[in-house]
A and B are shown apart, each in its own frame.
Chain A
């Protein structure tokens, strides 16, 4: 091997960098999908739960456009139920503890919605 010091240093840095997820993973131990606190006395969300998990941000975006651009404040879900289009008065009426619901899942996935700079989030009943 020629240029040994530089090449070896390069190889060591490369291997160390590209295995970091495994080192940090082994150190942090096993990971569970965050257990969110579901509304106590409700059974169903606006849409089926699989849909909500994947698409709730898209739904909120559509709601926002519907309410503010089309003045349409009623949402008919895929099951035919009618909902008032409102972040605070619909979603957060049921999910009334954002810290234990939205935030818990978001922080774990490094999602920080900027909605709360204007909308008010309930921090759970005191």
Chain B
């Protein structure tokens, strides 16, 4: 925890100093381009790498009655037997984190002592909140990258600021995102079992995203900067015509801290646990239909032309040794041989 905090703070300080010392083009142009390239190439590489692992067995996890006789009701979402069933299951998984909804919490009660399991929906609730708010915040940022700004982005902004608190209007997703992140961090800090399990690669991404969100919110509400210049700057990046010092001098250093946090997140992403989204393609426990009694699942690395031995041949070869070891054999050895 403290190491991660230190690293995150250090990134911020370095970016702040760099931008203040006139290295805005290093932190604002070079680093983001490198980060985007590493991010996209890294994700593609990781997906190709993972897709080289075969699935030797059909191992869908099941949470209900398998497809069986007509009069036995199948749990079609928890134990899908068709492709369409898998699609429905995956949809609920991806958009509503259905399996996390089943999260339980175990506790040893003093009376007994006995162990009690109860359903715990907080993680599900805040994980869902975090992901959706992050998505909306991400989409909202496209007002800086696209010109003219598409109406759908303006619409999201209008809905997000619907409470019309203050000026600039308070965006609800920003506040909810920070709340969810603080819960996810607090969970690791205050639950002693989770704390015992948590490593730097759990704390670092959390703190990095918290720093990203805090710097972004400060830019909007507290330590403001000239947004019109920021847009000129980001549009320079996406049109491959980076702007020079005449624009960057109007932009506060905090913006470059924000951008550096984003760049670090992008570079870290493909090689971290944050890369769980492509798991959609690589989770045989989730994305295979449970039709193992109806359809033969072939191990993809089997050689179809490999020579094979039948059991009868096997026994012919090893009969004497098997009998000697007391193993049952189908055909008894000749009586003559035995004596």
Chain B residue at smallest Cβ distance from A36: B228
| In the complex, A72 has a CB within 8 A of chain B | no
Q: Quick check: A31 and B40 within 8 Å, CB to CB?
A: no
**Chain B contacts with A in 21-46, Cβ cutoff 8 A:** 39-40, 43-44
Min CB–CB distance A16 → chain B (angstroms): 11
CB closest residue in chain A, given B43: A14
Let me know if A14 and B44 touch, CB within 8 A: yes
- Report how many A-B pairs have Cβ atoms within 8 Å: 116
Q: Mark A17-55, 1 if CB is under 8 A from B, else 0.
A: 011111011101111111000000000000000100111
What is the CB-to-nearest-CB distance from B50 to chain A, in angstroms, rounded to a whole number? Answer: 8
B231 touches A (CB below 8 Å): yes
B238 CB-CB contact with A under 8 Å: yes
Q: How far is the CB of A126 from chain B (nearest CB, A)?
A: 27
Q: How far is A22 from B240 in the complex, measured between Cα atoms in Å?
A: 8
Chain B 245-279 interface 0/1 with A at a Cβ cutoff of 8 Å (1 = within): 00100101000000000000000000000000010
Given A108-B228, A109-B228: A30 in contact with B153 (beta carbons within 8 A)? no
Decide if A105 is an interface residue (CB 8 Å cutoff): yes
- B281–A21 contact, CB under 8 A? no
CB distance from A8 to the nearest CB of B (A): 9
Q: Is A3 interfacial (CB-CB < 8 Å)?
A: yes
Tell me which of B43, B148, B232 contacts A32 (CB under 8 A).
B232
Beta-carbon nearest neighbor of A19 in chain B: B40
B315 at the interface (CB under 8 A from A): no
**Are the C-beta atoms of A11 and B47 separated by less than 8 Å?**
yes
Structural contact, B147 and A3, CB atoms closer than 8 A: no
Pair B228/A105 contact, Cβ less than 8 Å:
yes
Chain B: which residue is nearest A113 at the CB level?
B167
- Determine, out of A57-65, A75-83, A90-98, the stretch whose residues face the partner at the interface: A57-65
Contact residues in B for A111 (Cβ distance below 8 Å): 168
A62 to B280, CA, bound (A): 49
Q: Are A7 and B47 in contact (CB under 8 A)?
A: yes
The answer to whether A21 and B146 have CB atoms under 8 Å apart is yes
Contact in complex: B40, A54 (CB < 8 Å): no
Chain B positions near chain A (C-beta within 8 angstroms): 39-40, 43-44, 47-48, 51-55, 142-143, 145-149, 153-154, 157-158, 164, 166-168, 224-229, 231-232, 235-236, 238-241, 247, 250, 252, 278, 280-281, 300
Q: Are A26 and B239 in contact (CB under 8 A)?
A: yes
A110 contacts B by Cβ under 8 Å = yes
Residue in A closest to B142 when the chains form the complex, CB atoms: A21
User: Closest chain B residue to A10 by CB distance?
Assistant: B281
- CB-CB under 8 A from B48, the residues of chain A are 1, 7, 11
Given contacts A11-B44, A50-B250, 7 further A-B contacts (CB under 8 A): A1-B52, A10-B278, A14-B44, A24-B145, A29-B239, A31-B232, A31-B235
A88 to B6 alpha-carbon distance, docked (Å): 49
Interface pair A33/B51, CB less than 8 Å apart: no
| Chain A contacts for B153, CB-based, 8 A | 110
B239 cross-chain contacts in A, Cβ below 8 A: 25-26, 28-31
Q: Which residue of B lies closest to A12 (CB)?
A: B44
20 contacts between A and B (CB under 8 A): A2-B52, A2-B300, A3-B281, A6-B281, A7-B47, A11-B44, A21-B142, A21-B145, A24-B146, A24-B238, A26-B240, A31-B232, A31-B239, A58-B168, A108-B228, A109-B228, A111-B168, A112-B154, A112-B158, A113-B167
